[in-house]
Amino acid sequence: MCNMETLSINTVYCGDSVSLMEQIAPNSIALSFWSPPYFLGKDYEEDATYDSWQNLLKSIIALHYNVLKPGGFLVINIADIISFQDENMPRIMGMNPTNRKCDVTKDMILKVQSDFPNYNRKQIASILNCSEQTIDRRMNGNNIRGGKYAAGTHIKLVGGNIENYAYDAGLFLYDKRVWKKDPAWANCKWTTNTLKSVSETEDLYIFWKPGEYIVNRERLTPNEWKEWGHRQIWEIPSVRINKEHPAMFPKKLAYRVIRLFTDERDVVLDPFLGSGTTAVAAIETNRNFIGIEIMERYAEIAKKNVKNAQQSQRLFSYS
């Protein structure tokens, strides 16, 4: 640490958070608010495995004990239920008769196989006047794609892992809030042909570094405190069009977290800055920030958004 240059506030850094967080001044961050990669195969996580993704979260969380002020908070926004393809899952999916374009059933196929035990799939399909793929689907499940067996979908809860990583780092779960967003991905591959619900919420896991902290309702107006300050469920529309980054969260979400857990001039950290939403919200609420983004193209977008927010804030201050 003694040979490292300390990261400056109000700056966007492009690089690996695991390395750069070691250069943040100890006990300097009042709030760290971020949303990590969700292990969904985005361009910034295309080589990740479930284990490497979890190791990343564990490493980043562990680094927070050193950089957070005593009494500081770490708030992680994440979808607690994640879905990903897993080669170890049974290759079976739910049958959806209403979506079938062919009325051939498994029993019909078995009857033909009984009558013509030496027939191959092509010959059976010819008798039943259907495609070979239909034969494959009825016999092996709906996750057949072009005659190839797709890996099954693994559903995982990740909140418990995050709590354990924080506890191992010396941080304690303080609270959990729920972001109620728009129903999303109604037609995505994780919900088609299943009984699974569409995603309508994400969770905010709030961890505390032991130390005296301030409970100041004057950070909010009386109406804000009544409407969302003490409420567990926050209803905030999701970002409609992710023009600048494929996984943006609304500025209003960052705005609420920052105002609830910090005072003006405090330092807010986001080690997964993306297009800069947390930094912009910090600027607009008169907080300082440190932002880290590993992808250069997103870091450049974040720098642009930060510069625009700083200019707007200066104009507002002069008016």
Are 257 and 205 in contact, with CB atoms under 8 Å apart?
no
| Each residue's pLDDT tens digit, 167-221 | 999 999 999 999 998 775 544 554 555 677 777 899 999 999 999 999 999 999 9
Which region holds residue 96: left if phi is over 0, alpha if psi is between -120 and 50, else beta? beta
Would you place residue 83 in the very low, low, confident or very high pLDDT band (cuts 50, 70, 90)? confident
> Are 131 and 276 in the same domain?
no
What SS3 state is found at 80? coil
Comparing 110 with 189, the larger pLDDT belongs to 110
Q: Do the bridges between strand 267-270 and strand 29-34 make them parallel or antiparallel, or are there none, so unpaired?
A: parallel
pTM for this prediction: 0.81
Domain presence at residue 272? yes
Domain boundary among 129, 149, 169: 149
Q: H helices of 105-202, where?
A: 106-115, 121-128, 132-140, 159-169
What SS3 state is found at 177? strand
Comparing 35 with 143, the larger pLDDT belongs to 35
> Are 291 and 144 in the same domain?
no
Length in residues, the chain = 319
Comparing 85 with 224, the larger pLDDT belongs to 224
Return the percentage of the chain with pLDDT > 70, whole number: 82
Are 121 and 131 in contact, with CB atoms under 8 Å apart?
no
| CB under 8 A, 24+ apart: contacts of 191-195 | 193/93, 193/94, 193/95, 193/96, 193/99, 193/142, 194/93, 194/94, 194/153, 195/94
pLDDT of residue 172: 98
Domain presence at residue 88? no
> Are 177 and 300 in the same domain?
yes
> Are 308 and 252 in the same domain?
yes
CATH number where 111 lies: 1.10.10
> Are 161 and 145 in the same domain?
no
**Domain containing residue 115:** 97-149
**CA-based nearest residue to 25, from 56, 58, 62, 69:** 69
Domain presence at residue 4? no
State phi, psi for 255 to the nearest 5 degrees: -60, -45
Are 250 and 236 in contact, with CB atoms under 8 Å apart?
yes
| Each residue's pLDDT tens digit, 49-81 | 888 889 999 999 999 999 999 999 999 999 888
Would you place residue 146 in the very low, low, confident or very high pLDDT band (cuts 50, 70, 90)? very low
> Are 209 and 261 in the same domain?
yes
> Are 107 and 253 in the same domain?
no
